[in-house]
Structure 1
Amino acid sequence: MSDLVSLTLLTEVFVTLFVIMDPIGKIPIFLSLTRGRSQASARRAAWQAVAVSFGVIVAFAFFGQRILDYLGISLPALQAAGGLLLLLVALELLTGKEQAPTAASDVNVALVPLGTPLLAGPGAIVATMVLSREVDHVAEFVAVALGVVLVHVALWLSMRFSLPILRLLREGGVVLVSRIAGLLLSAIAVQLVADAVRAFIAGEG
C-alpha cells in the first residue's frame, strides 16, 4: 500500500484541507444560502458546489502559481478579494436582505459564493498549492489526489444530509441559522482581509 500511496502525505493533505474547508461548519451556511429552494434544487446545489470547488482546487494544484503570475495577482490580493466577497454575503445574511432563491431562480449560489470562495477559498487554494510541491513520485501524487477527493466527499455528505436538518428546523429555525451563519461569515471575511493586509505590510504582496 505504501508503494502506491504515501499514507503520511495522504493524512497531511486530508487533515489540512478538512480543517480549512470545515465541512461541518459549512452546514449552517449551506442551509442559509439554499433557504427557499426545493429539496431537489438544494441537492443539486450541494453537488454543484462540490464540483466547482474540486475543479478550482485541482486547477490551482496544477497551474495555480502560473495563473497568478500570468495575471499579476499575488496570493494576498486573492485572499483580500475573497474576504470582501464573503463580507458582502455575510452582511446580506445578517440584515435579512438576501434574496432567497427559488427553484425557478437563475441565481446559482452553488457557484458563488458556495463553490468559491466558501469551499475553495484562498486558504484551501494556498494549502493545495503548497502540498502539491511535495509531489515527486507517483505515490505522493496519489496521496494528494486521494486526499483532495476524500475531503470533497466529506463536504458533499455534510451538505447532502443537512437537508433533514432543514426540514426539522423549519422556516423560523433557518432564519436563526442564517443570522448565525452571517456572523460566522463576517468573522471569516474580516480575518481573510486582515491576513491579506498583514501580508501586504510584510511585503509579501
Structure 2
Amino acid sequence: MAEFNYLATFIFFFAVIDPIGSVPVFIAVTSAYDAKTKRKIAIQATLVSALILIFFVIAGEIILTAIEIPLTAFQVAGGIVLFLFALTMIFGESKPDEEVGMVKCSQETAIFPLAVPSIASPGAMLAAVLLTENSRYTLVEQALTSVMILAVLAVVLVLLLIAGHVHKLIGNGGASVVSRVMGLILCSLAVSNILAGIKGYFLL
C-alpha cells in the first residue's frame, strides 16, 4: 500500500468544504439568536454535515455499482463537475456572497443553508466518493480519508464557534478572497481527477 498523503487529502477537503467561507453564512443564519443557541446550531450543522459526507463515503460507490455506472466515468464526470464548481468559486459569486443571499430569502435553519450546501456542499459529497473508490483505495486509506473529512469538519466547528472574532478579523472581503484561492486549488485537483479517470478508462 502506498503511503497515505494526509496533507494532500486534508487540503483537498479543505478546498471543497471551505470552512472560512462558511463563517459569514453562519453569522447571517444566527444573527437573531443568543450565544447558547448559536453554539447549538454550530454543533448541529457540523454533525449533520459529517453524517452526510460519511454516508457518501460508505454508500456512494455502492449506489454507482447498483446502477452500473463505471467508476472511471464517474471520476471524469465528477472531475468536470468539481472543475465547474471551482470556476464558480473563482469567477462567480463567492461562497459567502451566494449563501448569505440564500439566508436572506429563506428560512434560517442549521440544515439549510448552513449544513447543506455551505458545509456539505455538492463538491464535498462528490469528493467523498472519488477519494474512497474501492478499486483505488484500501479500506485503511478510505478510513484515513474519513478521518481527514472529520478533521476538516472539526476546523469548521471551531471557526463557527469563534465566528464573530473571525469575521471581525477578515470580514466578508477576506472570506471572499480565501474562497477564490480555494477555488483555484480545487481547479487543479479537478483536472487531475479528470486525467486519472480518462487514463483509467482506456486501461480497462
**Counterpart residue identity of residue 48, structure 2:** Q
How do residues 1-205 of structure 1 correspond to structure 2 at under 5 angstroms? 12=4, 17-22=9-14, 26-38=18-30, 39=38, 40-67=40-67, 69=69, 73-90=73-90, 91-93=92-94, 96=97, 98=99, 99=101, 101=103, 104-105=107-108, 107-112=112-117, 114-122=119-127, 124-130=128-134, 134=138, 141=139, 143-144=140-141, 146-170=143-167, 173-192=170-189, 194-195=191-192, 198=195, 204=201
Aligned identity (percent) is 12
Distance in 2 between the 1:128 and 1:192 partners?
15
How far has the Cα of 1:96 moved from its partner? 4.0
How far has the Cα of 1:180 moved from its partner? 1.6
Distance in 2 between the 1:76 and 1:83 partners?
10
Unmatched runs of 5 consecutive residues or more in structure 1 = 1-7, 135-140
Deviates more, 1:178-187 or 1:58-67: 58-67
How far has the Cα of 1:187 moved from its partner? 1.0
1:165-204 Cα shifts (integer Å, max 9, x gaps): 4221345733133212331243145335544665687694
1:127-171 Cα shifts (integer Å, max 9, x gaps): 31157653xxxxxx4x35643443343133211111244221345
Distance in 1 between the 2:173 and 2:116 partners?
24
Distance in 1 between the 2:87 and 2:164 partners?
28
Distance in 2 between the 1:130 and 1:72 partners?
12
Unmatched runs of 5 consecutive residues or more in structure 2 = 31-37
Q: Is the 8 A contact 1:94 1:182 kept in 2?
A: yes
SS in 1 for 2:133: helix
Aligned residue number for residue 33 of structure 2? none
Structure 1 pair 113–202 and aligned structure 2 pair: CA distance change class (3 A): farther
TM-score, reference length from structure 1: 0.65
Structure 1 pair 44–83 and aligned structure 2 pair: CA distance change class (3 A): farther
How far has the Cα of 1:34 moved from its partner? 2.7
Distance in 1 between the 2:5 and 2:193 partners?
23
Distance in 1 between the 2:73 and 2:113 partners?
26
SS in 2 for 1:105: coil
**Counterpart residue identity of residue 121, structure 2:** T
| Total equivalences in the alignment | 188
Instruction: Let me know the Cα RMSD of the aligned residues.
Output: 4.1
TM-score, reference length from structure 2: 0.65
Q: Is the 8 A contact 1:46 1:110 kept in 2?
A: yes
Q: Is the 8 A contact 1:89 1:182 kept in 2?
A: yes
Distance in 2 between the 1:61 and 1:197 partners?
17
SS in 2 for 1:49: helix
